[in-house]
Amino acid sequence: MSESLDLDRPKEECGVVAISVPGSQANKTAFFSVYALQHRGQEAAGIAVSDGQAIRVHKGQGLVSQVFKENKLEPLVGELAIAHTRYSTTGSNSERNVQPYVVETMYGPLGLAHNGNLVNADQLRKQLLAEGAGLQSSSDSEVLALMLAASEGSHWEERLANVMPKWTGAFSLVVLTGEKILAARDPWGFRPLSVGELPGGGHAIASETGALETIGCSSYREVKPGEIIMVTGGKLSSYQIMDAVEPQARCTFEHIYFSRPDAIWDDLSVHEARQSLGEELAKEHPAEADVVIPVPDSSTPAAIGYARVLGVPYNEGFVKNRYIGRTFIEPTTELREQGVALKFNTLAANLKGKRVVMVDDSIVRGTTSRQLVDLVRAAGATEVHMRVTCPPIAHPCFFGVDMGSYEELIANKLGVPEISEHIGTDSLGFLSVERMMKALGRDDGYCNACFTGKYPVPVQLNLLTTKQRFDGVLK
């Protein structure tokens, strides 16, 4: 995929799935559930299946539907499966970093898929290399797999329990062995993970509740921070291995952008949360306008909420091509120069001669925002006012979201008036941290480090840029 066509957005972490279907084949159930998580990563996908003896895996670069044709699923025979769809955060986008990882251990085969980032991954990697481990990728997920493979204990739950306290940072992971699936979540609760009961018996675990509903789960709950879930046959057991850290550090961007609107996260409807973000944005940064439009798709509920509070008509302003940004065909030079115009077209009839409020979920580098504003003006808008449903992103994330470095983040270099001038708006308003949390109905329990620079766990110095170190972020 051409980087020039990639939207100026935080990148969608990863998605994980685990399936146990006693008496049935898990391959297709795993496929449809991970397909429902495609939005969380479009670079690579993989499925590993256990038949009680061996683990078979197929994985590759591309979308889920590109990696898995019918003939690729058929050899994956067994009642247990894990799956992964990936956007690279640590580790480059290469074949060797595609998950799930499958290794042979003295206890039998082991597969692992992971969503998140460990901030102590470099230390753990050096320790593994010193002990003679043969690392084949640059991903911290392989570090997790090899540490688990070498952990002591009489069964896999005990081995996982013994190694979890050594991991610092974000991890929501699923594990596949010959006879069971396991799932675990870090004690800070950074990344989402839920477990549900399948119709007819069996269980499923997934990064989002929408993926569970896709395969028929009607009853589900979050995997608790610090908890291990074990499923074997039709039996589910849970073990609270580590105390949940208080306050929690849930990723606010799950509500703002990452999750599907049908997801339930922290007992909140993501769709309703986004509408509330828009409502609070309208109260904090109203604008005199004729129409409110969203930048599709995650900003649509927020734009509806914004328009409702102000009493201004809501309408569509953009038509989005949802596939151009995920093609692996390189555009011509002429097409590449059109940039965002390849991804969006405007509905001029809804914009011409009007004062427009454009609601978006975030501004990272500012390049896409500027091009979108240009498109709206070219469609005949007399004024363009941009409203953003989160605070300025001034700090990188080290827990599984690719937001760029300090040097790349426009809010680290410019104030709001300067950003407005840079992207060409008549006015610009960001939702404050206080209003954002009010919209979620929470006082704390969320990681807002990308807005505030206050990280819930210390960050390794070698993960930081020189500028970041001298800015005194580590406190």
Q: Which residues are catalytic?
A: 14
Count Cβ neighbours within 10 Å for each residue of 177-211 and write b for 16 or more, e otherwise: bbebbbbbbbbbbbbbbbbbbbeeebbbbbbbbbb
Of 205, 149, 147, the C-alpha closest to 174 is 205
Q: How far is it, in rounded angstroms, from Cα 166 to Cα 149?
A: 14
For the purposes of burial, counting CB atoms within 10 Å of the CB of 322, is it exposed (0-12), middle (13-18) or buried (19 or more)?
exposed
Cα–Cα distances (Å) from 174 to 47, 68, 103, 185, 297, in that order, read 12, 20, 14, 9, 29
In this structure, the strands spanning 427-430 and 344-346 are unpaired
> How far is residue 59's CA from residue 72's CA, in Å, rounded to a whole number?
9
Question: What is the Cβ-side half-sphere exposure of residue 13, based on CA atoms within 13 angstroms?
Answer: 29
Angle made by CA atoms 339, 394, 358, in degrees to the nearest 5: 50
> Which residues are within 8 A (CB) of 17 and not within 5 positions of it... i.e. 6 or more apart?
30, 33, 34, 37, 81, 82, 83, 84, 113, 174, 204, 205, 206, 207, 211
> What pairing do the DSSP bridges indicate for beta strands 268-269 and 108-115?
unpaired
Residue 82 pairs in a beta bridge with 18, 48
| Residue 424: both structure tokens together | 């060409």
Q: How many helices (H) and strands (E) does the chain have?
A: 17, 23
